[in-house]
Amino acid sequence: MVFDKKISAAPLLLGAAALIFPFFADVHFPLLGGKTVAWVEDAQSCWLLFGALFTLFYMRPGSLDEGSRQFWLWSVVWWLTLFGRGISWGRDYFPEGPRMVFRAISVVLIGTLVLAFFFSPALRRNVAERFRHERLPLWTIVVVVVTFLISDTVEHHRLLAPLFLHHHAWQDLIEELYELPFMIGLFLIAFAMMKHEKTAGSGVRALRRADEAPGY
């Protein structure tokens, strides 16, 4: 794996937001009886669904070779799985629905991720190749990892939780806020990979056209 160590505006802004979040409790940011948390959760859901749709339409997996096609379709399923988990597989919006349906949705999405990886040699090769050679934005990865760990720390009241959770009443809000830079950072990492592949694909097509051009 190759890391791009250049610091861009995105991780700086996400990191700055992460430093500010704990003070929402100190200034008693209005919770509005849980509506604020619900709005943040809805924003997360919209973002995750956007990630799936953007990946599908930007990369157009059907036009790619087998390995890349399976990788980007697998990525779409990852976004949909995160989206599904965020809305409790649909239970958040249809609380009276049959539990069997929600369980089936989770089994289908998670099962697709696992089975596709283990039963597709082309997908595994593509993932391994990207792991070895893909150039990834280091500081965005740092923000993603750190904010995920902070969100988990706040949710489960781990040792360092008091550093980020200054008042217990704001726990849900702080936890959800820290998931925002995590999700945005994930998309930025994926988008960097998409741009690299698009650029590489354009270069290959240009070389092919040059090779196929008639000589004079």
Is pLDDT above 80 for 124? yes
The model's pTM: 0.89
Per-residue tokens: 144:
């993603």
Distance between CA 127 and CA 69 in Å, rounded? 12
- CA-based torsion, 44, 46, 47, 48: positive or negative: positive
Reported as a pLDDT band with limits 50, 70 and 90, residue 216 is very low
**133 or 53: which leads in pLDDT:** 53
Q: What is the mean pLDDT of residues 37-45?
A: 96
pLDDT score recorded for residue 210: 40
End-to-end CA distance of the chain: 43
Question: What residues contact 101, with CB distance under 8 A and at least 6 apart?
Answer: 90
Checking phi first, is residue 34 left (phi over 0); if not, alpha (psi -120 to 50) or beta?
A: left
| Type of residue at 27 | V
